[in-house]
Amino acid sequence: EDKVVQSPLSLVVHEGDTVTLNCSYEVTNFRSLLWYKQEKKAPTFLFMLTSSGIEKKSGRLSSILDKKELFSILNITATQTGDSAVYLCAVEVRGNKLVFGAGTILRVKS
Amino acid sequence: EPEVTQTPSHQVTQMGQEVILRCVPISNHLYFYWYRQILGQKVEFLVSFYNNEISEKSEIFDDQFSVERPDGSNFTLKIRSTKLEDSAMYFCASSLTGSGNTIYFGEGSWLTVV
């Protein structure tokens, strides 16, 4: 059975802190790994990773994939209160479907 | 920015009733999906739809569920006889290429079965 596990389940930090969110996976027919931010309802796309070792960066957010060890990390530097959200990791497998982890709840305190 | 729209945003229904959740995908997208998220649990894949047919479905998507693209713009999910455990947020999504980075999610329809 395809499985995606995220850690930690929740995290409380202060503004300005750096956070690292983890995602490990065990799937057949891996196609890509995606990170989403879910604030109230719809997940919004952050990154798609397909190759090991290539960092994707967008502003204060960055992510990298290790296909040998089957994990990915999402880093957020200089956190702001607006970063408070649930961060979802999902793996795209054959059949164009996404297998999601349970998410990491991030709360950034001012 | 183009978006996937869903209606209703919230529906309360009696157990055993039929429910239709509606979605308008992004207009030039070719792949359509339904996912659901039971309160406090993971987002789960239900079904994918391409070229007017189901391309993949999960174990959750049993005979009580069906999908349709009746008129080239709407994409619907029907639950024939709702159960309490169908209470969840249902997300519609669409994609241009089927690749993960082109998937856009709607805001969701929250279904409460009482």
Per-residue pLDDT of chain B (114 residues; tens, 9 = 90+): 779 999 999 999 999 999 999 999 999 999 999 999 999 899 999 999 999 999 999 999 999 999 999 887 899 999 999 999 999 999 999 999 888 888 999 999 999 999
Q: What is the pLDDT of residues A65-74, one digit of tens each?
A: 999 999 999 9
Buried b (16+ CB within 10 A) or exposed e, A29-42: ebbbbbbbbbeebb
Is the Cβ pair A98, B100 closer than 8 Å?
yes
In CATH, what number is assigned to the domain containing residue A29? 2.60.40.10
Is the Cβ pair A42, B45 closer than 8 Å?
no
Q: What is the pLDDT of residues A27-66, one digit of tens each?
A: 998 999 999 999 977 899 999 999 998 999 999 999 999 9
pLDDT at A66: 95
pLDDT at B114: 97
Distance from CA of A43 to the nearest CA of B (A): 6
Q: Could you give all domains of chain B from N- to C-terminal order, each with its CATH number?
A: 5-113 (2.60.40.10)
Is the Cβ pair A32, B100 closer than 8 Å?
yes
Is the Cβ pair A102, B42 closer than 8 Å?
yes
pLDDT at B71: 84
Distance from CA of A59 to the nearest CA of B (A): 18
B16: left (phi over 0), alpha (psi -120 to 50) or beta: left
Closest CB from A48, A88, A100 relative to B101 = A48
DSSP labels, B45-110? EEEEEETTEEEEE-TT--TTEEEE--SSS-EEEEESS--GGG-EEEEEEEESSS-GGGEEE---EE
Residue A43 is part of which domain span?
Answer: 3-109
Closest among B49, B42, B55 to B25, alpha carbons compared: B49
- The SS3 call for residue B41 is coil
Q: Is the pLDDT of residue A95 over 80?
A: no
Residues of B in contact with A48 (CB under 8 A): 99-101
Quote the CA–CA distance of B26 and A87 in Å, as a whole number.
24
Q: How many domains does chain A have?
A: 1
Residues of A in contact with B108 (CB under 8 A): 41-42
B107: left (phi over 0), alpha (psi -120 to 50) or beta: alpha
Is the Cβ pair B42, A31 closer than 8 Å?
no
Residue B25 is encoded by which pair of tokens?
């995908």
